[in-house]
Structures are given as structure tokens and as C-alpha cells.
Structure 1
Amino acid sequence: MRWVDDRKDICLTLGGLISAKGGLGRIISEKILKLKGLLSLTDHYQEVHSY
């Protein structure tokens, strides 16, 4: 019966990694979007104040 437990653990670990990776990817993409937003704001600011 031991190998069944091991397989279950491996599946749980893989599932955890996939969900963690998905969450991490979402966080990273949100940060990228925020950075792009900030960059476009600074571009707009520079245009308005003509640096």
C-alpha cells in the first residue's frame, strides 16, 4: 500500500506547484501591467511638461 501513498503525495505536490505557479504568474503579470501603467503615466507627464 505504500506506493499508493507516494503517488498521492506526488500528485498533491504537482498540483500545489501548478497552482502556485499560476498564482505567481498572475502576480507577475499584474506587476508588469502596473509598471506599464506607470511608464505610460510618466510618458504622458513628460509630454505635458515637455522635458
Structure 2
Amino acid sequence: FLRLQSEKEALYHDSRIKIEEVQQRKEDDLKSLSAQNQQLQQEAQAANQ
């Protein structure tokens, strides 16, 4: 039983780490897209002037 308990905790811990990695990647992607969007808006404004 104790072995099962520790395996369960290890799996839970691994899944938490995976979730955090995915969330971090999503945040990084969002920042990247936001920066690209800003750049495109600036280019569009420059083209309109």
C-alpha cells in the first residue's frame, strides 16, 4: 500500500510539472504573438501615413 501511495504521489507530482510546463509554453507563445501583433500594427500605421 505504501508503495502504491508513493507511486501515486510521484505521478501526481509529474503531472503537475507537465501542466506547469504547458502553461509556461502557452504564456511564452502568447507573449510572442502579442509582440508580432504590435509589430504588424506599427507597420500598418506607418503604411497608412
CA RMSD of aligned residues (A): 1.3
TM-score, length of structure 2 as denominator length: 0.85
Q: Which runs of 5+ in 2 are unaligned?
A: none
Match of 1:3 in 2: none
Structure 1's consecutive aligned runs of 4 or more residues displaced over 2 angstroms after TM superposition are none
Query: C-alpha displacement at 1:24, in angstroms?
Result: 1.0
1:1-51 alignment runs, 5 A limit: 6-50=1-45
Query: C-alpha displacement at 1:17, in angstroms?
Result: 0.5
Aligned residues between the structures: 46
